[in-house]
Amino acid sequence: MTIGTDPAWREAQYNARAAVPEHPAIFARWAERSAAARAEAGRRVRPDLAYGDGPNETLDLFLPDRTGAPLHVFLHGGYWQALDKKDFGFVAPPLVAEGIAVAVVNYALCPAVRVGDIVNQVRRALAWLWREGEGLGFDRDRIHLSGHSAGGQLVAMMMATDWPRRAPDLPADLVKSGLSISGVFELEPLIGTSINAKLGLDAEEARAVSPMGLTPATGAPLVLAVGGEESAEFHRQSAAFGAHWSALGTPVRWVPLPGRNHMTACEALAEAGHPLFRAAVELALGTGARPS
């Protein structure tokens, strides 16, 4: 890992809210669009399904009209310390229109829990979704992931998980693909920044939850995207991680996001026709064709 050692430089590189001063308006837009998505889905959304007994262990499941659809699981960002699934329901409607089920997952936030606890919560969510898939109406053998910022780290951690080791009934290839938007794959650079005030990471813990130090569990494909207006460190992180996992055999695809900042980058996932949206559809459906 090669990063700048100046604390002020690292703060500027990783403090995404400071870099996007209009972020309150963006967050309000997300919340409004997400509330509308849940209202318009009606009976096709099953809100607040509990995947465990821990704090915030719930998810919202959006279903298309047909059963047996592939499942796209979205993991939200917020540096493991902010935001909520209710802010990200807006990602679901365009994917549902393509015949893809969507689960928007919640998890507990730091400092009430550690980043490693959040990783394990998301593992529980995916295990629950796989076990309950038939009853919920989607194809449990076609589970695909996406995530933004901290959610991008969680996507990679799930792709590095040895599922049968966690529970013998779980398949090694539980995760069929991953899509990471502006992910953080090395957490050590966050130490010494304001972001770490609630995370409380030291070097050892940061390395343990950094996908850069892990190997992919399967040959599942990975899509990486970073906003064109994001900092050099967000670009470096994705480039280094993509190169590392590509060398280990992961098929890696890059989707450029020109003109996007750290917040607006994830909105491309909900824009039908955008290359990032099309990448997600192609991963979930195989050929990218609309199901019959």
Digit-coded pLDDT (tens) for 11-58: 999 999 999 999 999 999 999 999 999 999 999 999 999 999 999 999
Query: What is the tally of structural domains in the chain?
Result: 1
Look at residue 292 and tell me if it is in a domain: no
**Mean pLDDT to the nearest integer, 184-209:** 98
Q: What's the pTM value of the predicted model, to 2 decimals? A: 0.95
C-alpha separations of 210 from 34, 73, 164, 173, 196 in Å: 30, 21, 21, 21, 14
Cis peptide before 111 (omega within 30 of 0): yes
Q: Is residue 291 part of a domain?
A: no
Give the rounded percent of residues in the chain with a pLDDT score beyond 70: 96
Q: Is residue 1 part of a domain?
A: no
Q: Cα separation of 107 and 68, whole Å?
A: 26
Between the two ends of the chain, the Cα-to-Cα distance in Å is 47
> Region 123-146: what's the mean pLDDT?
98
Q: How confident is the model at residue 4 (pLDDT cuts 50, 70, 90)?
A: low
Give the pLDDT band of residue 290 (cuts 50, 70, 90).
very low
CB-side neighbour CA atoms (13 Å) of 161:
29
Residue 77 φ then ψ, to 5°: -95, -160
Instruction: Answer whether residue 265 is part of any domain.
Output: yes
CATH of the domain at 22: 3.40.50.1820
Report, in angstroms and rounded to the nearest whole number, the Rg of the chain calculated over CA atoms. 18
Report pLDDT for 109: 98
Give the residue numbers spanning the domain of 135: 7-285
Residue 2 within a domain: no
Residue 234 located in a structural domain: yes
